[in-house]
Amino acid sequence: MSSPGFSRLSEIGAFVLFLNAALAQPAQARDSNIEVTPYLEVQQVLVADLKHGSDVLTYSTIAAGVESSVQTRQAEAQVNIRYERRFFYEDDIGDDDILSGLARGRVQVVPDVLAMEAGGIATRSRVDLRGGAPTNIVGNIDNVTQVYSVYTGPSLATNIGKLRVNANYRIGYSKVESGDSGTLPPGQSPIDIFDDSVSHSASAAVGMRPGDLPFGWTAGAGYEREDAGQLDQRFEGKYVHVDITVPVAPTVALVGSAGYEDIEISERDALRDINGDPVIDDDGRLVTDKTSPRLLSYDQDGLIWDAGVLWRPSRRTSLEARIGRRYGSTTYTGNFSYRPNENTSLNVLIYDTVSGFGNLLNDNLALLGTSFTSDRNPLSGELNGCAFGQTNSLCLNDALQSAASSAFRARGVNAQYVYSYNGWNSAFAAGYSRRRFFASQLGGVAIIDGLVDENYYANLSIGRQLDMRSNIVTNVYANLLDSGFADAANVLALGVNAAYHRQIIPRLNGTAAVGLDSYRQDGFYSDLTASALLGLQYEF
């Protein structure tokens, strides 16, 4: 009779052989601008509960991943994807599978005229803003769910005489796996959780630069729609606009726009039991009443406008700030980009938008360029909250702070700074997000209508190349979450981790990492864990 340990090692060994066969391919293409690096990892991890006794959890992982970069005249792409299988030694914890990754690509169908773009992300999100905020996601974890989002579509940019013509179309799909928020503070009821959606976005514009006329102009129109499975929710937006750019100095221009917009968000009621209470399915989501009439959650139409200033002293520096009227109130938007050299970049974005969960994920992906860096938590293997690109950066903290099913108005600011010099690499991101949710007062999620949640976050990563074969990376994060629910505690998450990487022989690398993670729900629950990892990675 074989021992449990021998059985576990046999299972891991079989899984290693399977992944090794799947990844047996050349590690790098001949073209110096195309790099494809598949890898296989084995790790042993220890997690200790420092707050509630002395529980210690150990587990083994087998992971397979691909990191690739493509930069040619016809195609640009960046891919970072990883599949991990966790093998636990505790009887009450089942083995776990985790898929995480980020990808963006662009292919020139007709050079400099027509291109196809695509993007995708697989990551984890918090379910309910009032629940726990675990970062090192190990074991039977509540209030965390797997999220997938992909999009693709063509983009057109060409000149017709002196007119500049642009057009874009995008179709996207987003999915949230589980709706279980776990244990909430006393007196708090679970919110309804997003399931999946299909989104469409189309826009077209024509315009001229300043020159023949003392000002530049653009006339455009757009259409957006998101159909969500949960409560059959529908977001539909249409707009037309005219933009004007008036140069007043060699580096300064006044900018403004005016137009008309119509946004309508609707849903169906939840199925009710004999007592009139909403019916909840096995996944913790409300069951849609297919016979219910559509219920309006948000209906806003009318004139929209904004005005501001554009400052562009060089190709490396750009600042734009606007104030206007949209969504029935005053709006403030802006962006600042500064890239003095190849080693330094600073991006700041002030945004104000009305969207659904899936559409916001697709919008964030589309803003990220096709060349970026995306670090992973050395202990969990999952993507950190931000990806840093040469022209734009992406932080998903606003989109993934909770997976509520209702649409919302999102306002906030994101800032990212990247610096590398003489073996040092650093990245800092910070931001604030405020969402106001929309729901029908006659439907199953009326409790969330008008609710405002807020999220403050910061992430810092510092790395140092010690020599030709080794480096060290340290990450620090902080996150403060306010759900907006009456009597619900704020949630504060803090953590730090560090990893040492060393090449043992060509293609074989070793990793040692430690971390400390905590979160606290005021007056309800707190958690503090320490983690350690030893691992090997082989690059094919």
DSSP code string of 362-423: HHHHHHS-SSEE--B-TTT-PBPSEEEESS-EEE-TTTSS--BSS-EEEEEEEEEEEEEETT
**What are the strands of the beta sheet with 393-395, ordered from one edge?**
372-373, 386-389, 393-395
pLDDT per residue as tens digits for the range 204-225: 999 999 988 999 999 999 999 9
Is it the case that residue 147 has pLDDT exceeding 60?
A: yes
Phi (first) and psi of residue 366, to 5 degrees? -65, -30
Give the predicted TM-score (pTM) of the model. 0.86
Percent of the chain with pLDDT over 70: 88
Please state which of the ranges 158-167, 174-183, 469-478 shows the lowest mean pLDDT.
174-183
Q: SS3 of 199, please? A: strand
For residue 144, the number of C-alpha atoms closer than 13 Å in the C-beta half-sphere is 15
Specify the pLDDT at position 277. 87
The pLDDT of residue 352 is 95
Q: Rg for the chain (alpha carbons), in Å?
A: 25
Q: Rounded distance, CA 288 to CA 177, Å?
A: 17
**pLDDT of 378 strictly over 70:** yes
What integer pLDDT is reported at residue 428 of this predicted model?
A: 92
Q: What is the pLDDT of residue 183?
A: 62
pLDDT tens digits, residue range 243-298? Answer: 999 999 999 999 999 999 999 999 999 999 998 888 888 877 889 999 999 999 99
Confidence of residue 397 (pLDDT cuts 50, 70, 90): confident
Tell me how many degrees the CA angle 339-340-346 measures, rounded to the nearest 5: 35
**Is the predicted pLDDT of residue 144 greater than 90, yes or no?**
no
For residues 49 and 214, what is the distance between their CA atoms, to the nearest angstrom? 67
Give pLDDT, residue 394.
Answer: 72
- Helices within 332-375 (DSSP H only): 357-367
Q: What average pLDDT does the segment 302-325 reach?
A: 96
Strands 329-341 and 317-326 come out as antiparallel
- Reference 289, options 310, 267, 309; nearest CA is 267
Q: Which of 371, 323, 309, 384 is nearest to 345 (CA)?
A: 371
Assess whether pLDDT exceeds 70 at residue 24: no
pLDDT category at 365 given cuts 50, 70, 90 is: confident
Write down the pLDDT at residue 370.
Answer: 83
Share of the chain above pLDDT 90, in %: 57
pLDDT band at 424 (very low <50, low <70, confident <90, very high): very high
**Residue 8 or 478, more confident:** 478
CB 464 within 8 A of CB 413: no
Mean of per-residue pLDDT scores for the chain = 86
Name the least confident of 9-18, 69-78, 79-88.
Answer: 9-18
Residue 309 is which amino acid?
A: V
Structure confidence at residue 32 as a pLDDT band (50, 70, 90): low
Using alpha carbons, select from 109, 88, 86, 114 the residue that is nearest to residue 98: 86
CA dihedral 117, 123, 128, 134 (to 10 degrees): -150
- The Cα 204–Cα 202 span in angstroms is 7
Identify the burial level of 19 via C-beta atoms within 10 angstroms of its C-beta, where 0-12 means exposed, 13-18 middle and 19 or more buried.
buried
Residue 19 has pLDDT above 50, yes or no: no
- Most confidently predicted of 52-61, 91-100, 223-232: 223-232
Tell me if 127 sits within 8 A of 181, measured CB to CB.
yes
